Structure 1
Amino acid sequence: MSKFHLNIKELVQGEFNVNKVNLAFVFQVNCPGCFIYGIPMTNELYKSFKDKVGFIGIATAFEDFEYNNEASLKLLLENRTLVGETKKYYNTNYGVSNYQETLNFPVAFDSMVSSEQFINSGKVELICDAIPNFQDFPEKEKEAVVQKVKEFYSQIPLLAETFTINQLKGTPSFIIFDDNYNVLAHYFGHQNHEILKVKLEDLLKVNLV
């Protein structure tokens, strides 16, 4: 079972307590879809399961760094200020520049590092370890894979650690994990609320939380 690697500087809002079942909601501030359905759904799940499930929202950045940053996240949390494409969508479709919901769950910003810091921190090895049967590769082949991954990330000036190490496909992403950070389920993109709700209910029954 793969591990969920949570790399954040500090919580911007709330307090995250690890439970037997946890849900991480990974989003970008400049991601209209995250606001249209990701945040409302996470709010609903939080309302239903907050006493039994650990929740954490992680604002990340893999593009549009002028909007996807901690300053924009704080503006969103403090007074619901929207930016970039998200602001454009709500302004065009609803005539508003501020989000109509609050984020009710704990929220942090992803740890951002330079490519040099990332490559020299041992995090590349974590990515490679997640490759099926990587530890069974011949040593020279393992070294070649590690080197190739390092060369790839050396071309990207700024990296979000949680997003990158976990090899997420984009935002919104939902990761369900246990108290040992083993990944129990992973979803990307627009999800049906009922799917995540039933999954959490089933996991809670198994874990007798």
Structure 2
Amino acid sequence: MSKFHLNIQELVQGEFELKKVNLAFVFQVNCPGCFIYGIPLTNNLYNLFQEKVGFIGVATAFEDFEYNNEKSLNLLLHNGEMVGETKKYYHSNYNLSKYPETLNFPVAFDSMTTSEAFINSDKIELMCKNIPNFKAFSETEKQLLIQKVKAHYTQIPLIAETFTLNQLRGTPSFVVFDDNYTVLGHYFGHQNQDVLKSKFEDLLG
């Protein structure tokens, strides 16, 4: 089974306690859907399971870097201030200038690196090893794939490591993992709370 790679800067809020079952909620500050669905869902799950499940919110950035950054995250956590498309959505639909909920769970910002540093590290190989049947590839096929992946990430100015290493599809994303960082479940987009609630209950026995 694949491993969850949690590469973050220092926590901006709270303390993350690794438990037998954990949830990483990966979001972008400039992502209205993360605020409409993701944060309320994670808050509800945190209120229900915080004694038995470890929670961490990871603010990431794969686009709109002028909004998706640690400064915007701090504005949200400390003042409820929103930015970009999220701000426009809540202002035009609800006439709100500040986000009406607080984030009750620990939150960190994703570890950001340059494309040059990323492709010259061992992280490309780490990503490729998670590809199904990679071990069965010939050495030539492995090297061709690694070069192809490197060429792709050369074109991206900033790399968010948690988002990229785990090959997440977008935000909001929810990753359930154990105390060995083995992935137990992965969910993308708008989720029904009962799905994750049932997952936790099954894993907790």
Report the CA distance between 1:103 and its aligned residue: 0.1
Q: Distance in 2 between matches of 1:132 and 1:149?
A: 15
Equivalent residue number for residue 42 of structure 2 = 42
Distance 2:144 2:127 in 1: 14
Deviates more, 1:33-42 or 1:133-142: 133-142
Q: Distance in 2 between matches of 1:120 and 1:181?
A: 25
Let me know the Cα RMSD of the aligned residues. Answer: 0.5
Moved more, 115-124 or 168-177: 115-124
- How many Å separate the matches in 2 of 1:158 and 1:141? 27
Partner of 1:19: 19
Aligned ranges 1:171-190 → 2 under 5 Å: 171-190=171-190
> Over residues 47-96 of structure 1, what are the superposed CA-to-partner deviations in whole Å (9 max), with x where a residue is unaligned?
00000000000000001111000000000000100000000000001111
SS of alignment partner, residue 85 of structure 1: helix
Q: CA deviation at 1:174?
A: 0.2
TM superposition score normalised by structure 2: 0.99
Indicate the SS of the match to 1:64. Answer: coil
Deviation at 1:121, TM superposition (A): 1.5
Distance 2:133 2:37 in 1: 36
Matched, 1:97 2:97: yes
TM norm structure 1: 0.97
One-letter identity of the residue aligned with 2:136: D
**Aligned residue type for 2:76:** L
User: For each residue in 1:137-174, what CA deviation from the matched residue of structure 2 results, as whole angstroms up to 9, or x when unmatched?
Assistant: 11111111111100110111111000001000000000
- Residue of structure 1 in register with 2:56 after alignment: 56
State the alpha-carbon separation in 1 of the partners of residues 37 and 147 from structure 2. 39
- Structure 2: runs of 5 or more not aligned: none
- AA of the residue aligned to 1:197: K
1:80 is matched with: 80
1:136 is displaced (CA, Å) by 1.6
| Regions of 4+ moved over 2 Å | none
| Pairing of 1:1-209 with structure 2 (within 5 A) | 1-205=1-205
Deviation at 1:9, TM superposition (A): 1.2
For 2:49 and 2:141, how far apart are their aligned partners in 1?
A: 45
